[in-house]
Amino acid sequence: MTENAPLKIHDLRPAPGSNKAKTRKGRGEGSKGKTAGRGTKGTRARTAVMPGFEGGQVPLQRRLPKLKGFSNALFKTTYQVVNLDRLGELFPQGGEVTLDDLVAKGAVRKNQPVKVLGTGEISVALNVQAHAFSASAKEKIAAAGGSVSEL
């Protein structure tokens, strides 16, 4: 490199002594040769100890109790929730509210059941279609002059 030439990335070198080579075990006397840090004899010197082995102590998977009982949680229907105040924001003119309309406006995802809850107030008449309604939502929609139809 000449004095006037610009410094380039390939001209850079690490400072002397900053990069030290990693010890490669078991490659000669000077690098933990022979036993390579495993000690002498025994299972750990010869092979890997099997996962979960705790030296003869009763292992964790045998100390913990088995799960008992049965749960119907797998069969529970989980609804996407839409509140009345949100419906009022999305449909200020009133009219028909279908699942496709809710998906198009980003209120719910498609292919999942929808439940309308009665949080908030509604002032316009909405004809709402959904899979489920809370009792308060049905009352408030009917009071505003709308109707409810369950799918």
Give the residue numbers spanning the domain of 126. Answer: 75-150
Note whether residue 121 is domain-resident.
Answer: yes
Note whether residue 142 is domain-resident.
Answer: yes
Note whether residue 23 is domain-resident.
Answer: no
Contacts of 58 (CB under 8 A, 6+ apart): none
Q: What CATH number is associated with residue 82?
A: 3.100.10.10
Note whether residue 57 is domain-resident.
Answer: no
Note whether residue 27 is domain-resident.
Answer: no
Note whether residue 127 is domain-resident.
Answer: yes
pLDDT at 1: 58
107, 89 Cβ separation under 8 angstroms? no
Q: Answer yes or no: is pLDDT of 6 > 70.
A: yes
Three-state SS at 117: strand
Dump pLDDT digits (tens) for 36-81. 888 899 888 888 888 889 989 999 999 999 988 998 999 999 999 9
Strands of the sheet with 126-130, listed across from one edge? 95-97, 126-130, 147-150
Q: What value does the mean pLDDT take over residues 92-99?
A: 92
Count of structural domains within the chain: 1
Dump pLDDT digits (tens) for 122-132. 999 999 999 99
Between 23 and 59, the higher pLDDT residue: 59
148, 142 Cβ separation under 8 angstroms? yes
Burial class (CB in 10 A: 0-12, 13-18, 19+), 131: middle
Note whether residue 37 is domain-resident.
Answer: no
